[in-house]
């Protein structure tokens, strides 16, 4: 069964971005599971009646359990230029997360060293001297607190595997629903959403800002945070 095409947030001859649903893999590997990139390729092939294989450049990924803005390149030139922006850290990424407990400070920076345990798939905070450890940093700002939960806006400065999930859990504030990293709450997936992405267009050279609407599953938080000025009134 093919994966339905996610909502398209942006499309031109060089780039295409979608609102990735939680629970879907961003890209395929060796497996046969349907993925977002395959759904996008199918859409492009049918819309433009392209013969043969359709090029789609993978410039970044989102974890399966994470929703939000997912950007692709439609040409090799665009793919190279966008990938370089991600490598240089010039792409502005904004995430929304609902975490357990209340952060000690209303805003701040988290800086840790992370390493993935290949046998378990879990990422751990380790000492900087540990072989294979990679630095991870982010800035956060508390948007609202209610009923033991905090809504955070997060701007990662690095893009490590499971970075936000691990760093917040290490502070004693796991993301709501993230049972892998210590959450005590059941949830459809986890309350982590790639809310917006700002990049420089690979051809025109102008900034492009994209925003992904909140998933339906986030409606459970509306009654808690809807009084905050930044909480979306539409969805």
Average pLDDT, the chain: 94
235, pLDDT greater than 70: no
234, pLDDT greater than 70: no
204, pLDDT greater than 60: yes
Of 44, 39, 42, whose CA–CA distance to 19 is shortest? 39
Spatial contact of 228 and 143, defined as CB atoms under 8 Å apart: yes
32, pLDDT greater than 80: no
State the residue for tokens 């609102």: 19
**What are the phi and psi torsion angles at 76 (to 5°)?**
-65, -35
State the residue for tokens 């892998």: 180
- Distance, in Å, from the CA atom of 222 to the CA atom of 178, rounded to the nearest integer, reads 19
Q: What's the whole-number mean pLDDT along residues 133-160?
A: 97
Of 154, 219, 149, 157, whose CA–CA distance to 178 is shortest? 149
Report which DSSP code applies to 175: B
Q: What is the pLDDT of residues 84-99, one digit of tens each?
A: 999 999 999 999 999 9
pLDDT at position 28:
77
Task: Give residue 152's pLDDT band: very low, low, confident or very high (50, 70, 90).
Answer: very high
Other CB atoms within a 10 A radius of the CB of residue 145 amount to: 18
Helix (H) or strand (E) holding 134, with range, is strand 134-146
Beta-carbon-side half-sphere exposure of residue 160 (alpha carbons within 13 Å): 24
Spatial contact of 156 and 92, defined as CB atoms under 8 Å apart: no
- Distance, in Å, from the CA atom of 2 to the CA atom of 34, rounded to the nearest integer, reads 6
Spatial contact of 39 and 69, defined as CB atoms under 8 Å apart: no
Helices (H) then strands (E): counts for the chain: 4, 11
Q: What is the pLDDT of residues 67-79, one digit of tens each?
A: 999 999 999 999 9
- Distance, in Å, from the CA atom of 19 to the CA atom of 37, rounded to the nearest integer, reads 12
Active-site positions read: 63
Q: What's the whole-number mean pLDDT along residues 195-207?
A: 98
Higher pLDDT, 30 or 172: 172
Measured on CA atoms in the order 45, 48, 50, 55, is the torsion positive or negative? negative
């Amino acid at each position: 069964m093919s994966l339905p095409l996610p909502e398209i947030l942006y499309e031109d001859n060089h780039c295409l971005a979608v609102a990735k649903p939680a629970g879907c893999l961003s890209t395929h590997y060796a497996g046969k599971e349907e993925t977002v990139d395959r759904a996008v390729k199918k859409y492009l092939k049918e819309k433009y009646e392209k013969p043969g294989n359709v090029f789609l450049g993978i410039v970044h990924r989102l974890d399966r359990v994470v929703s939000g803005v997912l950007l692709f390149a439609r040409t090799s030139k665009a793919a190279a230029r966008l990938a370089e922006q991600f490598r240089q850290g010039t792409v502005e990424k904004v995430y929304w997360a609902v975490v357990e407990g209340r952060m000690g400070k209303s805003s701040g920076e988290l800086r840790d060293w992370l390493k993935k345990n290949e046998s378990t798939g879990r990422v751990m905070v380790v000492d900087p001297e540990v072989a294979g450890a990679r630095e991870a940093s982010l800035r956060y700002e508390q948007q609202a607190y209610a009923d033991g939960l905090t809504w955070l806006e997060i701007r990662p400065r690095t893009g490590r595997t499971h970075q936000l999930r691990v760093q917040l859990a290490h502070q004693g504030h796991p993301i709501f629903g993230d049972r892998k990293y210590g959450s005590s709450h059941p949830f459809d997936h986890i309350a982590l959403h790639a809310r917006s992405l700002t990049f420089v267009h690979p051809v025109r050279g102008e900034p492009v800002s994209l925003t992904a609407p909140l998933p339906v599953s986030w409606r459970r938080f509306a009654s808690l945070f809807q009084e905050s000025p930044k909480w979306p009134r539409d969805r």
